[in-house]
Structure 1
Amino acid sequence: MELFDNHKKLFTTAAAFFIGLTTLVAIIPAVQTDKINQPLPGAVKLSPDAQKGKAIYVANGCIACHTQQVRNLDMDKVWGKRPSVAADYALDKRPDVWHNTATLMGSERTGPDLTNIGNRQPSKDWNLVHLFNPRAVVKESVMPAYPWLFIYKEQPAKTDIVVNVPAEFMEGKTGKYVATKKAMYLLAYLQSLKQTDLPDGTTAPDFLYKQAAAKTDAAGGGAKVDGAALYTANCQSCHQASGEGLPGAFPPLKGSSVVTGDNLELYVGIIMNGYTGREKEGFGPMPNVGTTANLSPEEVTAIINHERSSWGNSAPEVKVDDVKRFMDAAKLSAGQ
């Protein structure tokens, strides 16, 4: 056949088939999928700083250990209010013609999922210390440190973002570490990761294979919510396993007048709606942990009773009914 004897015709025909098949199999379906899967109405585009932070996230291979997808499994409830849907990724676009889209959904969870980390852990202080050395806030962490994102200065300028590094991680240095622009860009990206609410009237997918949230109480034969486990999952990264917090960043719960006091309404309100009342003392704002994690009255009660009876604290137990009453009041005050 002349086609096989003429290399120009052969390569032209092969190229036409390749371009045609690529258009039919890849390009047209991709365009149609892009039209169908629009961003959720409340979705917010990344700011310029967050875009730069995303590039740093990609460059440092953070996807190797962190996912950004909440599966429809009950065990994933700690990572988001609902399972992820296709529309959550609709704003992920190609950064330029030479690079593919980086959705960063991931497949490994050596570290926790980051889908909703902007709500779960919005603290600037915590994130910067964590990036400087993860062991400073999570003793058991296997995440690598990123000290090159920070600069050591004997006398920081007034405009510098000082990182509250604990003394044991300063290696005897008397100055301060300050965040570079790259560190702040990465912080902006992490703080932007917030799960968007579905439109009113839209039913969220169910979490499947529900696990029992209680542990057997051998002494009473009943069930008891594990306050220690809930504290570890929701509070320990800031307030530490010792309850002593981190100086200059997170206040201690050990000996705290709020924890051991009688003002349960204030206590529950802090857990559900967050707190900014100690910023003048140098402590960062506390996020609304209870609301973000969708904690039940039984779970909030278990956390409170754990904190009131640990680290030398010896306050009386609180009752679920009282906690529920104040949780309802906290929701009203927050306009929920």
Structure 2
Amino acid sequence: MEFFNNHKKLFTAAFLLFFTLTLFVAIIPALNNEKINRSLPGAVPLSEDAVKGKAVFIANGCVACHTQQVRNVAMDKAFGSRPSIAADYAGIKRTDTWRNTATLMGTERTGPDLTNIGSRQPSVDWHLAHLYNPRIVVSASIMPAYPWLFNVIDNAPKNAVVVNIPAAFAEGTGKVVATKEAMWLVAYLQSLKQVELPDGRPMPAFLYKKEPKAAAAGRAVDEPDGAALYATNCQSCHQENGEGLKGAFPPLKGSKVVLNNDPELMVNIIMNGYTGRMQEGYGAMPPVGTNNNLDAEEIAAIMNHEKTSWGNDAKKVTPDDVKKLMALVKDQAVAKGK
């Protein structure tokens, strides 16, 4: 009983017990995990600008609405080609001895997941317009605008990054110029790309597949909804009316590519992306079909929506046609070393 009556011995023993438990249960395993964890072979360290952009991302509270983790459920398939694994976060190190850094995995999906946003949306123009006012590219967006990341001036310097803002969203007659903080943030967003697993490693399958929805009027039960797929995959750039954004994204309304009865080029653009109009001031189009794992039926539905909307009246394609062309353009891309 003397031990329990001696507060010095009692508290010393309790301290040593909890310190030992903490050391072996928490500290040593954590240090060991940090030592053995390795990033995937294809992982690219953040550039200096991207590191600064991450700080801007944190300062503006973006993690409150956006996650950076693809869960192992079918509904997250749109955010990446596979579920996230521990190695995806192995490159996130402490800022220094005393300061940790945010992993930014997040828990709230008020906005879309950003795990693969650098591949899904590589366009600088899109990101800048979206940050200035999200309603420019997504009319129903509830994301707040970040105008303090931009300056509105009458005469932009030669090396300034001028943002293409539609007249309906312009403030006065000045030009909207991105600040260095805006460019850092875009650099960080562009760096967010899901790394492919090493060759030979099986791709984790998504669980809990969605149940098929009832078909809309005039559509077969198993036929994808082209309008919905267009809204999910294409509308943020080319807009609901198919007219695009002047100086940033080309229109699909009246497009020669869309109206062409030979669908090969259109399938090639969807699967491999397109940079052929950058000299006109338009941004590079990402390979939407590849990035979002769209199948032939879904791509055919998108193409037919574009071919028959906004006054367009072009010959429709079938999933079988698209499937053959997907194989063809994939072989062409491999031959070109893409």
Q: TM-score, normalised by structure 2?
A: 0.93
Residue of structure 2 in register with 1:262 after alignment:
261
Residue of structure 1 in register with 2:122 after alignment:
122
Unaligned runs of 5+ in 2: none
- CA distance in structure 1 between the aligned counterparts of 2:170 and 2:217, rounded to whole angstroms: 45
More displaced 10-residue stretch of structure 1: 314-323 or 280-289: 314-323
Partner deviation per Cα, 1:190-218 (whole Å, 9 max, x = no partner) = 00000000011111221111124665265
Q: Determine helix, strand or coil for the equivalent of 1:178.
A: strand
- CA distance in structure 1 between the aligned counterparts of 2:317 and 2:218, rounded to whole angstroms: 20
Decide whether aligned partners of structure 1 residues 4 and 174 sit closer, same or farther in structure 2, where only a CA change above 3 A counts.
Answer: farther
Q: Determine helix, strand or coil for the equivalent of 2:223.
A: strand
Residue identity (%): 62
Q: Does 1:239 align with 2:261?
A: no
Partner deviation per Cα, 1:77-131 (whole Å, 9 max, x = no partner) = 1000000111111111111233323111111100000000000001000001101
Which amino acid in 2 is paired with 1:245? G
Which amino acid in 1 is paired with 2:105? M
Q: How does 1:3-22 map to 2 (within 5 A)?
A: 16-22=16-22
Q: CA deviation at 1:260?
A: 1.1
Q: How does 1:275-290 map to 2 (within 5 A)?
A: 275-290=274-289
Residue of structure 1 in register with 2:313 after alignment:
314
8 Å CA contact 1:214–1:226 kept in 2: the answer is no
- CA distance in structure 1 between the aligned counterparts of 2:239 and 2:5, rounded to whole angstroms: 73
Which amino acid in 2 is paired with 1:264? P
- CA distance in structure 2 between the aligned counterparts of 1:87 and 1:66, rounded to whole angstroms: 20
- CA distance in structure 1 between the aligned counterparts of 2:225 and 2:292, rounded to whole angstroms: 15
Q: Does 1:112 align with 2:112?
A: yes
Unaligned runs of 5+ in 1: none
Residue of structure 2 in register with 1:206 after alignment:
205
Residue of structure 2 in register with 1:226 after alignment:
225
Q: How does 1:166-205 map to 2 (within 5 A)?
A: 166-171=166-171, 173-205=172-204
- CA distance in structure 2 between the aligned counterparts of 1:159 and 1:220, rounded to whole angstroms: 51
Which amino acid in 1 is paired with 2:169? F
Q: CA deviation at 1:42?
A: 1.0
Residue of structure 2 in register with 1:325 after alignment:
324
Partner deviation per Cα, 1:211-254 (whole Å, 9 max, x = no partner) = 24665265576431111111111101100111111111001111
Q: Determine helix, strand or coil for the equivalent of 1:307.
A: helix
Q: Does 1:41 align with 2:61?
A: no
Decide whether aligned partners of structure 1 residues 305 and 219 sit closer, same or farther in structure 2, where only a CA change above 3 A counts.
Answer: closer
Residue of structure 2 in register with 1:252 after alignment:
251
Q: CA deviation at 1:326?
A: 1.6
8 Å CA contact 1:215–1:226 kept in 2: the answer is no
- CA distance in structure 2 between the aligned counterparts of 1:59 and 1:220, rounded to whole angstroms: 47
Partner deviation per Cα, 1:255-291 (whole Å, 9 max, x = no partner) = 1111112231111111111111111211111111111
Partner deviation per Cα, 1:136-176 (whole Å, 9 max, x = no partner) = 111111111111111111111111111111111113x2221
- CA distance in structure 2 between the aligned counterparts of 1:220 and 1:326, rounded to whole angstroms: 24
- CA distance in structure 1 between the aligned counterparts of 2:212 and 2:161, rounded to whole angstroms: 41
Q: Determine helix, strand or coil for the equivalent of 1:151.
A: strand
Decide whether aligned partners of structure 1 residues 220 and 57 sit closer, same or farther in structure 2, where only a CA change above 3 A counts.
Answer: closer
8 Å CA contact 1:41–1:199 kept in 2: the answer is yes
8 Å CA contact 2:223–2:297 kept in 1: the answer is no
Decide whether aligned partners of structure 1 residues 10 and 63 sit closer, same or farther in structure 2, where only a CA change above 3 A counts.
Answer: same
Q: Does 1:103 align with 2:65?
A: no
Q: CA deviation at 1:307?
A: 0.3
Which amino acid in 1 is paired with 2:306? E
Q: CA deviation at 1:188?
A: 0.7
Which amino acid in 2 is paired with 1:216? A
- CA distance in structure 1 between the aligned counterparts of 2:217 and 2:242, rounded to whole angstroms: 27
More displaced 10-residue stretch of structure 1: 211-220 or 237-246: 211-220
- CA distance in structure 1 between the aligned counterparts of 2:216 and 2:253, rounded to whole angstroms: 26
Residue of structure 2 in register with 1:59 after alignment:
59
- CA distance in structure 1 between the aligned counterparts of 2:244 and 2:62, rounded to whole angstroms: 27
- CA distance in structure 2 between the aligned counterparts of 1:35 and 1:5, rounded to whole angstroms: 42
Partner deviation per Cα, 1:279-322 (whole Å, 9 max, x = no partner) = 12111111111111111111111100000011111112112222
In angstroms, what is the RMSD of aligned CA positions? 2.0
Decide whether aligned partners of structure 1 residues 104 and 242 sit closer, same or farther in structure 2, where only a CA change above 3 A counts.
Answer: same
